[in-house]
Amino acid sequence: MSQRKPAAKKSKSERPSLSGRRKVWLAWMLRLSLVGLALLAGWLVYLDAQVRERFDGNKWALPAKVYARPLLLYPGQLLSASQLEAELSWSDYSARGYADRPGSYTRSGEQWTIFRRAFPFWDGPESARRIELSIRDGRISRLREQGEDVGLVRLEPQYIGGIFPAHNEDRELVRLEDVPPALVAALVVTEDKAFFEHWGISLRGIARAMLANVKAGGFVQGGSTLTQQLVKNFFLSSERTLIRKGQEALMALLLELHYSKEEILQAYLNEVYLGQAGRRAIHGFGLAARFYFGKSVKELDNGEIATLVGLVKGASYYNPRRNPERAKERRDLILGLMADNGIITDGQRIVAQGKPLLTSAAGRAGQREYPAFLELARAQLQRDYRLQDLQSEGLRIFTTLDPWMQNAVEEAAQATLKRLESRSRELKDVLETAAVITSVDGGEVRALLGSRKPEFFGFNRALAAKRAIGSLAKPVVYLAALESGRYHWGSVIDDKPVSVSGPGGQLWQPQNYDHKSHGALPMADALARSLNQATARLGMTVGLGNVAATFKELGLQAEVPPYPSMLLGAISLSPVEVAAMYQTIASQGFVMPLRTIEAVATAKGETLSSYALRGEQVVSPAMMQWLRYGLEQVAERGTARRITQELEGPLAAKTGTSDDQRDAWFAGFDNRHLGVVWVGRDDNQPMPFAGSSAALPIWLDTFRSAGSEPLPPADLLQMVPVNAAGQLVENGCRGTLYPFIRDRVPAAAGQCDPLTEPSSGEKKSWFDWLF
């Protein structure tokens, strides 16, 4: 058993003296300080690496900028004065008494002078050009530059959106030398007067801010220098802690150590957040100048400079569009500061303060986005490019979008839906629409509408809404019949009740729209009147397999089940798929992918890709012209006759209405464009409208306002008389003229009922009329 010894008490002499304790304490302090210094040094090295890495490399993830097609100007081009005026305004051109600077134009009657801006096109940069043109009878009659005739000039294309990284940051990079000195000076005197004197942090500024905050009893003023603000935006989160504040100060010092004041200022001018446009965050003065005033930063006047500088303090609070009074007050304050500091004279200040706060429209074409088209373009781009590169490399994407056509279809859709919905309270805001407009010969997508709200990023019905196509399937049935060699447009077919039993024993008994049967009639009439029973009978005779194969032949990639109901359009397709199929008809048999991208260039102007026409002639042009005759009859005297009552024909078209009127469709083309329009409800409920009353008006209004051109004559066809029994007869025999493929006209087999000559003297010649 051990005994516990009592703890020996230290004698007084053994205790460390006061000075000894201080030494120990000091030693510990020294050690801790050394550790702290080592940690600080390590942290500094880490921060330094961060600062240099970020500042030396690509500072920003630059979104791809997407542009519409450039407007081509050449002698003879179809172009109305209203289109030219609109396109100039969308590209932020200003009408002036004299077009004396890039981005301005003047008009005097038919004569226009346009000072086009310099622009880096995908096939090379072009300098600013001052051109003169005349528009007569809807065409450019003359195009000149410095007194000489020129063949072709392109206006710079309109911005239509971006492919943004996660935070949707957008910016237009500017170099310091491109920024007006007054803007830089105004920014410095407003935000950080001692910018050119301090080393990143300003003790005087901090003291002043602290005093102000203490006086106010809360946070009213920050003591951050421009360098600190840049560090905060560039490297750090927005949390307010002491450690973060310390980090900000250290990084500001490091930034100033490595980089010149000019480099820091340039970065600040491009980094600072200056507003929001929908999902798009507006960063930097370059883009802000474009967004708020529709001009480049170089072109800003003193008042505009002061307005933008005022936004630095609070982009939302001082937003000149939403809070004009506050923004004006702030602008005038900054103009005062500018005058006090000799940046502008007192006279200039008075003039600038006397001006109203004028901004360009936020939703104007040149700054808004076109989500439906962008989605299709992005999907096509991602076949060749990584999304990450599209979001960060500042690529410039040149597309096929025609803003004039897009504007026409958007306005037509708005007006038509409003009109349709006014007929019934239950319909208010429930109708939706989608539309695709392409060029007939090249398959370039010229306009795309994915919703009745064209600026809404959401469900894109043009691409994703798969709906029953109804009678839009009928031309495929008639093409299969024509290709079979057993039918022509004068062939007599029967429109009488049909009953087909399906695999489960259910009966398929289609009805006509008017619930009547119309008996024997020529094939052209059956298509023109969109008769279901006649078409179903024809399709069954031609063969379901043949009709399904004809869908494929026209380039449809979706599977078509060989069921009888397919003959009348019980196939669900998106508007873009329908457009691709009708494209083959409109282009005379050339199957081609619909295309949105013309070219892709780097931010420095190097062309990465350019895309030309691709496709394959799969159906003979003569066969397509023969089919087109049927579609022309639809537009001339059938269910789509309203379009030729208002536009010059011939035009080719087909209306479509699915079962119970759940979908209204219209597909039609003129000599230049094909348009497919769908109207329906997202909940797939019936509507009190058919294709001819809901979708046709959108097509018609679009083609009326964008411009329409009749189809050329079908030069591969020959008109031959056909008797009432559908048999060909010799020329000079009584019959109705129908077209046949010129080199494949069958021999006349019908009995001839000779035409009687009109007796002489019954008709007067034009010469008789004159006298």
Which residues contribute to the site for other proteins (CB under 8 A)?
Answer: 72, 74-78, 122-123, 136-137, 139, 141, 149-152, 439-442, 444, 588-590, 599, 607, 610-617, 621, 671, 715-716, 769-771
Minimum distance from residue 682 beta carbon to other proteins (Å):
36
Express the helix, strand and coil content of the chain in percent, nearest 5 each: 40, 20, 40
Closer of 278 and 615 to other proteins (Cβ)? 615
527 sits in which H/E element: helix 523-528
CA angle 261/267/268 to nearest 5° reads: 85
Closer of 75 and 324 to other proteins (Cβ)? 75
What one-character DSSP code corresponds to residue 382?
T
Catalytic, 759? Answer: no
182 sits in which H/E element: helix 181-191
Residue 403: both structure tokens together = 């803003």
Closer of 325 and 768 to other proteins (Cβ)? 768
Closer of 308 and 624 to other proteins (Cβ)? 624
What one-character DSSP code corresponds to residue 425?
G
657 bridge partner residues: 664
Minimum distance from residue 151 beta carbon to other proteins (Å):
3
Of the listed 87, 156, 169, 191, which one is catalytic? Answer: 191
- Pure H helices in 558-660: 575-586, 621-637, 642-646
Query: What amino acid occupies position 692?
Result: S
Q: Quote the CA–CA distance of 335 and 339 in Å, as a whole number.
A: 6
Minimum distance from residue 437 beta carbon to other proteins (Å):
15
Q: Quote the CA–CA distance of 33 and 40 in Å, as a whole number.
A: 10
Minimum distance from residue 635 beta carbon to other proteins (Å):
21
**φ, ψ for residue 476, nearest 5 deg:** -70, -40
- Centre a 10 Å sphere on the Cβ of residue 255 and count the other Cβ atoms it contains: 26
Is the separation of the CB atoms in 354 and 426 below 8 Å? no
Minimum distance from residue 771 beta carbon to other proteins (Å):
8
Closer of 400 and 407 to other proteins (Cβ)? 400
Closer of 71 and 287 to other proteins (Cβ)? 71
Give the 3-state secondary structure of residue 468.
strand
Is the separation of the CB atoms in 61 and 391 below 8 Å? yes
Dihedral angle at the C-alpha atoms of 288, 291, 293, 294, nearest 10 degrees? 120
Of the listed 91, 392, 471, 587, which one is catalytic? Answer: 471
Closer of 399 and 655 to other proteins (Cβ)? 399
Catalytic, 248? Answer: no
Closer of 651 and 716 to other proteins (Cβ)? 716
Q: Quote the CA–CA distance of 450 and 432 in Å, as a whole number.
A: 9
Q: What distances in angstroms separate CA 48 from CA 58, 255, 599, one per listed residue?
A: 17, 8, 40
Q: Are strands 169-171 and 280-283 parallel, antiparallel or unpaired?
A: parallel
Minimum distance from residue 709 beta carbon to other proteins (Å):
8
Minimum distance from residue 609 beta carbon to other proteins (Å):
8
Is the separation of the CB atoms in 337 and 186 below 8 Å? yes
Closer of 544 and 622 to other proteins (Cβ)? 622
Q: Quote the CA–CA distance of 310 and 303 in Å, as a whole number.
A: 10
Q: Is the dihedral of CA 694, 697, 699, 701 positive or negative?
A: negative
What one-character DSSP code corresponds to residue 485?
T
Q: Is the dihedral of CA 335, 322, 276, 361 positive or negative?
A: negative
Residues in the chain: 771
Minimum distance from residue 564 beta carbon to other proteins (Å):
35
Is the separation of the CB atoms in 669 and 441 below 8 Å? no
Closer of 52 and 130 to other proteins (Cβ)? 130
Cβ contacts of residue 294 below 8 Å, gap of 6+? 92, 360, 364, 366, 367
Give the 3-state secondary structure of residue 383.
coil
Q: Quote the CA–CA distance of 631 and 615 in Å, as a whole number.
A: 23
Closer of 121 and 292 to other proteins (Cβ)? 121
Minimum distance from residue 121 beta carbon to other proteins (Å):
10
Give catalytic residues, as residue numbers: 191, 471
